[in-house]
């Protein structure tokens, strides 16, 4: 248990002090949602990357996590979750692209329930182990095609996608609750963050920041 606590707390470039500096940098970069910032301050990001990369976990960079996937840089995570959270208190959230599980861990501090879908089975297994290690119990993981979302738990008042789509999958639009928000990267070579809001009249779309994500792929591995 003592070793586990030490691992979570980190030392040097993985310490709580380094994590707090990351949060201060996010504030300087324009992130204003204190709930999101506190969530990111409480989740040890270094747990979710390979030990060889742990010293860079709190830098403002994306890092490889295997299988051609990356953990998004902290600013992008914070920006997407700030947009998702600005519509009101989040009850049920769907994440497309669990990856290493870091964003799901942050979401678990902001939302009551998190449903997360990942198409790559070994990544999902690693994410499950990391979330279990941190005793996070309000995240439900599923091995499935992200294009199909998750009927289990729908409708969701928040949907966030960690892969770039050329168009918004219809299944995700159908699973977004009235009053809900979806945040996702749209595009191919050139990508933009997109905020989709649903009300009783339909959907509205706001195109925002330029981003770079791996593509959303069909099927499962």
Tens digits of residue pLDDT in 86-128: 877 899 999 999 999 999 999 999 999 999 999 999 999 999 9
Considering Cα of 16, then 21, then 26, then 32, what sign does the dihedral take? positive
Out of 24-28, 45-49, 86-90, 108-112, least confident range: 86-90
Out of 1-10, 44-53, 92-101, 144-153, least confident range: 1-10
The owner of tokens 């051609």 is: 68
- On the question of pLDDT at 3 being above 90, the answer is no
What's the burial of 154, exposed, middle or buried (CB within 10 Å: 0-12/13-18/19+)? middle
Out of 8-22, 38-52, 73-87, least confident range: 8-22
Give the Å distances, CA to CA, from 67 to 64, 86, 100, 105, 124.
9, 33, 11, 20, 12
Per-residue confidence (pLDDT) for residue 10, from 0 to 100: 60
204 is catalytic: no
Per-residue confidence (pLDDT) for residue 21, from 0 to 100: 96
Measured distance CA(78)–CA(52) in Å, rounded: 24
CA-closest candidate to residue 28, choices 61, 65, 75 = 75
Mean pLDDT of the 205-209 span: 93
Helices (H), the chain: 2-9, 16-28, 34-42, 74-85, 102-110, 121-133, 170-175
Per-residue confidence (pLDDT) for residue 12, from 0 to 100: 63
pLDDT band at 2 (very low <50, low <70, confident <90, very high): very low
Tens digits of residue pLDDT in 156-206: 999 999 999 999 999 999 999 999 999 999 998 899 999 999 999 999 999
Out of 2-16, 32-46, 110-124, least confident range: 2-16
User: Which uninterrupted H or E stretch holds 178?
Assistant: strand 176-187
Per-residue confidence (pLDDT) for residue 221, from 0 to 100: 85
Q: Is the peptide bond before 150 cis (omega within 30 degrees of 0)?
A: no
Q: Which residues contact 172 (CB under 8 A, 6 or more apart)?
A: 94, 96, 147, 149, 159, 161, 182
All structural domains of the chain, each given as residue ranges with its CATH number in brackets, are 66-211 (3.40.50.150)
* Of 42, 55, 62, 72, catalytic: 72
Tens digits of residue pLDDT in 132-152: 999 999 999 999 999 999 999
Measured distance CA(96)–CA(215) in Å, rounded: 12
């Amino acid at each position: 248990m003592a070793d586990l606590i030490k691992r979570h707390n980190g030392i040097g470039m993985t310490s709580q002090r380094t994590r707090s500096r990351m949060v201060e940098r996010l504030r300087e970069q324009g992130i204003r949602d204190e709930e999101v910032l506190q969530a990111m301050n409480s989740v040890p990001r270094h747990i979710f990357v390979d030990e060889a990369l742990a010293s860079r976990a709190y830098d403002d960079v994306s890092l490889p996590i295997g299988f051609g996937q990356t953990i998004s840089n902290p600013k992008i995570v914070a920006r997407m979750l700030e947009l998702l959270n600005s519509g009101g208190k989040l009850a049920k959230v769907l994440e497309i692209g669990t990856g290493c599980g870091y964003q799901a861990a942050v979401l678990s501090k902001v939302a009551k329930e998190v449903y997360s879908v990942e198409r790559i089975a070994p990544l999902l297994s690693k994410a499950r182990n990391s979330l279990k290690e941190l005793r996070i119990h309000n995240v439900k993981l599923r091995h499935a095609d992200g294009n199909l979302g998750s009927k289990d738990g729908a409708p969701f008042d928040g949907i966030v996608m960690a892969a770039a789509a050329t168009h918004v999958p219809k299944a995700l639009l159908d699973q977004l609750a009235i009053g809900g928000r979806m945040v996702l990267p749209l595009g191919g070579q050139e990508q933009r963050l997109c905020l989709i809001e649903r009300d009783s009249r339909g959907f509205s779309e706001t195109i925002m920041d330029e981003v770079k994500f791996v593509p959303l792929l069909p099927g499962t591995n």
